[in-house]
Structure 1
Amino acid sequence: MTDAPAGPMLAADGTPLRVSLRRALRAQKLRALMLVAPLLIFVLMSFLLPIGDMLFRSVENDIVPNTLPKTVVELADWDPGQEELPGEAAYAALRDDLTVAVEEKTQSRLGQRLNYEYSGMSSLLRGVGRDLRDIDPALPAKEQFIEADRKWGDPRVWQTIKLYSGNLTSGYLLNAVDMRLSPEGVVSEPEGNQIYVKLFIRTFLMSLGITFACLLLGYPIAFLLASLPLRTSNLLMILVLLPFWTSLLVRTAAWKVLLQQQGVINDLLVWLGIIDTGNRLVMINNATGTIITMTHILLPFMILPLFSVMKGIKPTYVRAAKSLGANDWTAFWRVYFPQSVPGVGAGSILVFILSIGYYITPELVGGTSGVFISNRIAYHISTSLNWGLAAALATLLLIVVLLLYWTYDKIVGIDNVKLG
């Protein structure tokens, strides 16, 4: 006699065990998701969405097609490379579009956008309401527009409208690398107007210099802190952390006092006889002042990762190397330093990324030769109100930083970066 096949295993409530386990796992995952949901929402609202908005603003251009829809359609078949003006239909469409724009008061915003590409468009469109009053809808629009303002007979005005008539544009990104759209295609800006590539190069070179200076000063300090007894190292660590208890603005202003030609450092050098009174060093409002000040401000961000890694290096390794015949330098370079590389990588990445986006310190002590690309971004946001160009500069800065981060990962390996 054979036994009847056993049925599925049941939980205490009579539910099949497999179903009950799935429910329990699903509930556990849901509870975990609810715990991290506030953090995810915060990261989404404060980090991902602003970055996405910045990326979109760097190519967004809807003001032209939304304000001049009929004109954009009429210019679709017009070649901006020719010197001839568009036909009567384009001027008639422009009259209709601008009539609506004046009623909705959007012509000034349109003029501001086009003025970034061709100077004079802002004033032309601000006065278009007066021009429209002199134009008779029953008569041909082309001659009346040109008679009202000779700029409407300038082919460059129409070329600008044509080139920037799409909902998306590469104009901002091209401007960010000292290039621009033209009827002939993409061309470089005149040499006298090329500033952004130089600013990018200056920013990266100075950031690398600041990172190297912080490493050069921070490594021996971290080594000393890791080698001293705990009581002494904790006491000295307070001095490392002390700058965090002082306002960044105060520290920067203090360096302005120290570095100026009549400041403390120059007075000390004169008193020691190192320099003459008439040959005081110029260390402010230039790249030198920016590097010195930012090195002091960012030095703790190099020391702390180095110290946390060095604290975990056992001194027995160095003693074993010396017992095998290595001198102090060989034991340090072949045994100790390789183990501290993760701290070097973490501190260097931290300092470099912080320095590349600094704004306040270069603005106060940089002058004209020590400012960073971040200062130009801030200028376009708050002064020129060219948010598209500011977004394009920030986008390029983000892309270059990510490329450097990827390169570092390929060469060194991001898994080797440790904070402790």
Structure 2
Amino acid sequence: MSDSTHTGPMLAADGTPLKRSLRRALRAQKMRALALIAPLLIFVLLTFIAPIVDMLFRSVENQIVGNTLPMTVEELRDWDATEVPDEQVFRALFFDLFLAAEAKEHTKLGSRLNYEKSGISSLFRTSGRDMNDIGEVFQDALEGIDPAFAEATTWVEMMSGGAGAEPNTRLMSNQIARLEALEATTFSGDAEFLPGAAISDILPNTARAYAAFAAFTQFVDGKSVTKEEPWEAVYAALALDLEDPATKTALENYAGPGADSLRAATAATLPPIAMREAFFESNKDWANTTFWETIKTYSPPYTTGYFLNAVDMEKTPQGIALRSEDERIYGILFQRTMFMSLMITFSCVALGYPVAWILANLPSRTAN
């Protein structure tokens, strides 16, 4: 009789190593347990965790300023906040605010910034109504020079560069993307109108303004750009381009559609472009640097402003600072809440402890 010693790994009944078999069984148990709690886990994620994450994101999200006033924000980047911005900033504001007013989005921006600076809501609301009047001055002047400027077909032919002209697809794509950001939506379908590359180089402001008008007309209004007269902002953009000596020189040799009308406009005297004064006439608060500071301070896409407001603080161009005393309300409310909470707590202790002590020390026959 001989003894045999087993030196290999311990095996399970099916011949596999016992450790591997145990790991497999344990893994199967974990998967079954996960499958059992999966519906509850998904329910918690969708109804509890996801709303909290969304709320936390909204507490720092602040894209409305950049989406509504993109050119203005860019012009304000180097503004030092020592005096009212220059003419270039107001020109950018005009085109930004004109489009926002057409989309009925300027009041939303005013409401958002009004949380940071009281009075700014009415500033955007009143000025939004005056954008057409500011641009109408240039519209009347150009149509007086050549009645063809009042025709929708004239503008389509002139800004497209005519049949066979190379299109500026990037400009149109940028304007559609800007409109999508402003409207917080996505548009489908191809653009009906594409600006010509050559005329875009000669009249950059006009091409951008007309592309914005064409995109809005097609995708928001659902109309054809060939049947709609351009916005007043397009005429203002053309006047802005025509005041540049380089534009006048380029138009001398231009032979595309509308060349004669454009040369006639360069030879005429157009109203001076003074957007700064026009905005001051619309609302004197545009001369208040604190409103401009608010716009610049809250122009980044993300902000800590909401959290700072909760502790009576605010963001300024110089950094974080306490709000003025007449605006500090949350600190007072917090102090009152803490005072009432402590008073109620101590009152409960003062009333409850003696009763509890008496009950604890009563004889057992009378304690109940």
Shorter-chain TM-score bucket reads: 0.5 to 0.7
Alignment of 1:162 onto 2:303: no
1:91 aligned partner: 90
Q: 1:209: how far off?
A: 2.0
1:109 aligned partner: 108
**Counterparts of 2:95 and 2:365, CA distance in 1:** 80
Deviates more, 1:34-43 or 1:10-19: 34-43
**Counterparts of 2:365 and 2:99, CA distance in 1:** 76
2:313 aligned partner: 179
Say if 2:126 and 2:283, in contact at 8 Å, map to a contact too.
no
Secondary structure of the structure 2 residue equivalent to 1:169: coil
Alignment of 1:301-380 (within 5 A): none
User: In terms of Rg, which structure is larger?
Assistant: 2
Alignment of 1:150 onto 2:281: no
Deviates more, 1:8-17 or 1:164-173: 8-17
1:130 aligned partner: 129
Among candidates 187, 195, 215, match of residue 349 of structure 2: 215
Say if 1:131 and 1:149, in contact at 8 Å, map to a contact too.
no
Secondary structure of the structure 1 residue equivalent to 2:131: helix
Q: 1:46: how far off?
A: 4.9
Alignment deviations for residues 217-240 of structure 1 (CA, whole Å, 9 cap, x no partner): 33455566777899998xx8xxxx
Amino acid at match of 1:107: H
1:13 aligned partner: 14
Amino acid at match of 1:64: V
Secondary structure of the structure 2 residue equivalent to 1:127: helix
Secondary structure of the structure 2 residue equivalent to 1:61: coil
Secondary structure of the structure 2 residue equivalent to 1:143: helix
**Counterparts of 1:230 and 1:35, CA distance in 2:** 50
**Counterparts of 2:26 and 2:313, CA distance in 1:** 56
Alignment deviations for residues 255-287 of structure 1 (CA, whole Å, 9 cap, x no partner): xxxxxxxxxxxxxxxxxxxxxxxxxxxxxxxxx
Secondary structure of the structure 1 residue equivalent to 2:320: strand
Alignment deviations for residues 159-193 of structure 1 (CA, whole Å, 9 cap, x no partner): 21111111222322332222323344433333233
1:268 aligned partner: none
* Number of residue-to-residue matches in the alignment: 232
Secondary structure of the structure 1 residue equivalent to 2:134: coil
**Counterparts of 1:203 and 1:53, CA distance in 2:** 28
Change (3 A) 1:106 1:178: same
Amino acid at match of 1:166: P
Secondary structure of the structure 2 residue equivalent to 1:180: strand
Give RMSD over aligned pairs.
3.3
Alignment deviations for residues 328-380 of structure 1 (CA, whole Å, 9 cap, x no partner): xxxxxxxxxxxxxxxxxxxxxxxxxxxxxxxxxxxxxxxxxxxxxxxxxxxxx
Q: RCO greater where, 1 or 2, for CA within 8 Å and sep 6 or more?
A: 2
| TM-score relative to the length of structure 2 | 0.54
Change (3 A) 1:153 1:196: same
Say if 1:134 and 1:148, in contact at 8 Å, map to a contact too.
no
**Counterparts of 1:221 and 1:39, CA distance in 2:** 44
**Counterparts of 2:47 and 2:366, CA distance in 1:** 41
Say if 2:98 and 2:132, in contact at 8 Å, map to a contact too.
no
Change (3 A) 1:17 1:42: same
Q: 1:119: how far off?
A: 2.1
Q: 1:78: how far off?
A: 0.7
**Counterparts of 1:184 and 1:108, CA distance in 2:** 27
Say if 2:68 and 2:109, in contact at 8 Å, map to a contact too.
yes
Listed as ranges, the gaps of 5+ residues in structure 2 are 136-235, 241-272
Alignment of 1:14-53 (within 5 A): 14-53=15-54
Alignment of 1:375-390 (within 5 A): none
Secondary structure of the structure 2 residue equivalent to 1:146: helix
**Counterparts of 2:351 and 2:45, CA distance in 1:** 37
Listed as ranges, the gaps of 5+ residues in structure 1 are 237-420
**Counterparts of 1:212 and 1:45, CA distance in 2:** 41
Secondary structure of the structure 2 residue equivalent to 1:56: helix
Change (3 A) 1:46 1:231: farther
Q: 1:143: how far off?
A: 3.1
Amino acid at match of 1:119: S
2:326 aligned partner: 192
1:69 aligned partner: 70
**Counterparts of 2:95 and 2:366, CA distance in 1:** 79
| TM-score relative to the length of structure 1 | 0.48
Change (3 A) 1:202 1:45: farther
Amino acid at match of 2:306: Y
